[in-house]
Each structure stands twice: as C-alpha cells, then as structure tokens.
A and B are shown apart, each in its own frame.
Chain A
Amino acid sequence: MMDMEPFILASSFIRALIEREFMQLALITGIFMGFLAPLIGAFVVIKRLSLIADTLSHFSLAGLAIGMYFINILSLPIGDPLYIGMIFGIIGALLIEVLRGYYRNYKEISMPIVISIGTALSALFISLSGGFNSSVYNYLFGSILTVGRNFVIIISAVTLLVLALVIIFYKKIVIVSFDEAYARLLGISVRKFQIVSTILLGIIVSLAIETVGVLLVGSLMIIPVATAMKVGRSFKSTLALAIAFSEAAVILGLWFSYIFSIPSGATIVLFNIAILVGVIILKKFIFSRSLKEKQS
C-alpha cells in the first residue's frame, strides 16, 4: 500500500493540473521562471555578481510597497503594484551600475547601499499602507499559486524576448561576460551590453518575486547554476544543466507544495538545494572512486 502512495499523490497533482486553472498558470509561470532565472543567473555568476539578484529583489520590494501605498491609501488606478515593482527593479539595476562606476576599486559597496535604500523604503511604505498583511507575506515568500493570466502573459513575453536576445547575441554575450577587455577589441559596445542586461535583470528579478518571493529570488537564479558548475564541462552544457536542475526543482516543488499544502517558493528553493547537495555528494563519491581505481 505504501508503494502506491507516490502514484496516488502524483495522479492527484496531475488531476489538479488538468482541472484547475490556477495550477496551470502556476506551472506555466514556474516553467518560464525555471528557465529564465538560471539562464540570466549564469551570466551573473560569471561576472561574480551573485548578490545582485538579492539586492535588486529588495529594491523591487520598495516599488511593490509604494505600489500598494498608491492603490490602498491614495486609491490611484495603477492596476497592479507589480508594474511599479518592475520599474524599481530597473531603477535599482541602473543605480548599481552608477555606484559601481563611482567606487571603481570597491564595486561590491554598491550592493549594501542599494539593499539599504530598498529595505528602508519597503519598511516605510509597508507601514504607511497599513502594515504587514497577506500581500506583503506573498511578496516576501512568493505566491506562484495566485498568479493571474496577466502575469503569465508578461512572463511569456519576457521569456521570449530574453531567449531571442541570447540566441541573436550569443557569441557577443559570452565574450562580454568572460572578458570585457577582449570584447572591447572586437568593437563590442560593452557599456550597451551592460545597460541592456542590467535592465533585463531588474525586470526578471521583479517577476521572480511573484514566484519565490523577495527573500528567495537570489537562490532561484544562483543555486541551479552553482550545481551545474560542478558537473558541466562546456559553457553550453553548464547552461543546459542549470536549466534542467532548475526546472526539476520547480516541478517537484510545485508538486510537493500542492500535495502537502506547504509554501511553494520555499519548497522550490529547498529542492534546488537538495539537488545541489546531491550533485556534490555524487561527484565526491565518483571522484574518490576513480581516484582509487587510478591508484590501484
């Protein structure tokens, strides 16, 4: 009987996916975000800017809080705080670029400055719009099961845009990411690339907040890449593995969160971490075995 349980659980998950629209929207959102986050995350890791996603998510939260204030207190017809969150994601990203230019030898200083501004503004406007409520909880920890059709349209459009840009400019993006000096010699406008990629990063981070929340956005982008780096040999295979690990975590996370009624964002991230730990252990095991074989 125990052996049957996973199948029953899987079948109820699949039934929910077929019958319930919110599950379909959540799955589509999850799959797109599971693709986008590690794709952009890989370039962030190469540039050694792993903390940028967390920084931008905190700044984007300020936009969401201001959006809530506009809607709840000022009754402005802005539709969804998400739009202001996205604008703040872009502003935060550009602010980091400006500060990085300002502190050339201490570029990482830009991150705590932008996080501080974002967190302070968030706290201020959350308080002004009536204090901590379920919307704020969802922004902090994600609410993939409550995304609407509008959100799915936006994330589909962003995914297509990013995919098209990566395919068209693949060679140039790889060169700029790995070696700016060489990119310059090839006549590639490094500055233009930085600005476009930073704006896209700001948009993706603000969208990722809906999926796993402000506090977990960074992990969605970085952990699958960190896992893939341990086993990938080429850049392309590492990118493909990162996306595969990320999609596996999204689907398993959604499934488990539905079955056990636990928070989806946290579950997705915990699966990402479980895959990372599994890969590290497996690699150590295989490595030490091949070392023993070589020695004997």
Chain B
Amino acid sequence: MRIDVDNLSFGYDYRTVLNNISFSIESGDFLVIVGQNGSGKSTLVKCLLGINRVPNGKIFLNGIEINNFNKWINIGYVPQKFDDFNYEFPITVNEILNVTKLTKADEDEKLQVMDELGILKLQNENINTLSGGQMQRVFIARALMNRPSLLILDEPTVGVDQDNTDRFYKVVNDLNNKGVTIMLISHDLDSSKANFSHAMWLKNGEASMKNISEVALRGNE
C-alpha cells in the first residue's frame, strides 16, 4: 500500500504534536519511524488509522484521500502493549482471534496463521497469563486475519525478551518479503532487527526521512 503524507500538522487543544510532516512510501517498502516518547509517533499512527481526524488533502492511502478511504480491512495494526487493548479482563487467545467472517480469513486460515506463529497451543489460555512475546504474536495473528497490504506495528518489542524479539522480526521481515508494506514504530533503531528500507526520525513533531542507503547504521547487515 502506497502512503503519501503532505504537510500534515496535528495537535490536541493548544498543543501541536505533529508539525508539517511530509513523506511518501511505496507499496512493499519497510519504514521504521524512530522517536523518543512524546515525539508524536503514536499520534501519527492514529492519524494514519483514521482515529485522529485530519483535514482533507493531508494523507493519501493508495492515492485515496484518507477521509474518503474505506478499505481499512487492508490494514493490519498491532497496538502498543498496554496502550489500546483493554487488558486484565479475562479473555482467551481464541476469543481475541474470534474475528473470522468480519475479516478475510476463514477458520482454517486462522489456525494456519496461529500454527505458523507458534501460538496454536495457547488457544485456550487467558491473554493475561502470556509472556510479552506470546502476547505480541497473538496480536500479529489478529492483524494478519485481514491479509493486510499494510501492517502498522506500534513499539512491538517493548517488554519482549531477545529470543522472542528476534523471532518477531523474522516474521515481520518474511511478511515484507512477500510484499506487505510495513510501518514499524520504535524508540530505538539500533536494537531493531528489521530489514527496513526507509527510516524516519521524529523529534518535537518534526520529521526527517532517509532511505536505507543513507542510514548507514546497520553495520554488516
């Protein structure tokens, strides 16, 4: 999915969070957005998901103005831990993934995705008893139920151990190799094992973007 953002500014009440941000990514790109807490990363994600309403002409998804866009089902979203999802109330993995018929995937595909992500055995477990890594894979599975052409991942590896982080990036890199556009929000580019094509830094609501050849942070990778 192609994304074009053109001079986007966004704020809450009197506080400007995003200041004249512009960038474009092509279908199949892998963009990492890096920034400290409060730099506007999650606000930008909320704008791209249509949760924060933006003026016309600022964001285009596949060339369609976001306020006219209705193919949301083509976007997969993995929320930041403890942010958007209401945890603590008992709910099993199966109940969270009980979304077939509302999404493109059927029951068989759901089980296949769960198997690939290694969470099939956790089906009947309460989400609150899972480790950070397991929980993250459940939400990736849910995002994949949409067979997304764009996958947005908000700080996906916070609180996840190294093994599971490596496993997580393998899944994400594989998806990108299959043509899925990825947008990964992170506070730390160095620790990310993502095979990204573009990186964007957000600081005080202002963005600077580079493609992989300019980043030169990846060492031997």
Contact = CB atoms under 8 A, between A and B. Distances in A.
A178 B77 contact: no
Interface of A is mostly: helix
A81 interface: no
A235 B95 contact: yes
Contacts of B51: 180-181, 184
Contacts of A105: 12-13
Contact of B90 (A179, A185, A238): A238
A182 interface: yes
Interface stretch (B24-32, B67-75, B168-176): B67-75
B146 A185 contact: yes
A172 interface: yes
B126 A179 contact: no
Given A184-B49, A186-B103, A234-B91, A48 B86 contact: yes
A243 to B, nearest CB: 14
Interface residues of B, number: 33
B92 interface: yes
B41 to A, nearest CB: 15
Contacts of A233: 90, 92, 124, 126
**Chain A interface size range:** 20 to 34
B49 A104 contact: no
Nearest to A231: B90
A47 B75 CA distance: 24
Contacts of B94: 234
B63 interface: no
Nearest to A232: B90
A11 B88 CA distance: 42
Interface in B13-59: 13, 46, 49-51
Contacts of A181: 46, 49, 51, 77, 79, 84
A45 B89 contact: yes
A188 B102 CA distance: 9
B3 to A, nearest CB: 15
Contacts of A236: 95
Nearest to B87: A178
Interface in A131-172: 171-172
Nearest to A182: B77
A235 B91 CA distance: 4
B101 interface: yes
Contacts of A235: 89-92, 95
Interface string A178-222: 111110111110000000000000000000000000000000000
Nearest to B72: A185
> Which of B50, B94, B102: most chain A CB closer than 10 A?
B102
Contacts of A45: 89
Contacts of B50: 184
A178 B98 CA distance: 12
A178 B86 contact: yes
A276 to B, nearest CB: 16
Contact of A178 (B70, B91, B146): B91
B126 A234 contact: yes
Nearest to A177: B86
A166 B46 CA distance: 29
B187 interface: no
A179 B89 contact: no
Interface in A229-246: 229, 232-238
16 contacts: A48-B86, A174-B95, A177-B86, A178-B89, A178-B91, A179-B85, A180-B51, A182-B77, A185-B77, A187-B73, A233-B90, A234-B90, A234-B94, A234-B95, A235-B92, A236-B95
Given A172-B102, A234-B126, 15 more contacts: A171-B101, A175-B99, A180-B51, A181-B51, A184-B49, A185-B72, A185-B76, A187-B70, A187-B72, A229-B90, A233-B92, A233-B124, A234-B91, A234-B92, A235-B95
* Nearest 6 Cβ contacts at the A-B interface: A235-B91, A232-B90, A234-B92, A185-B72, A238-B90, A46-B89
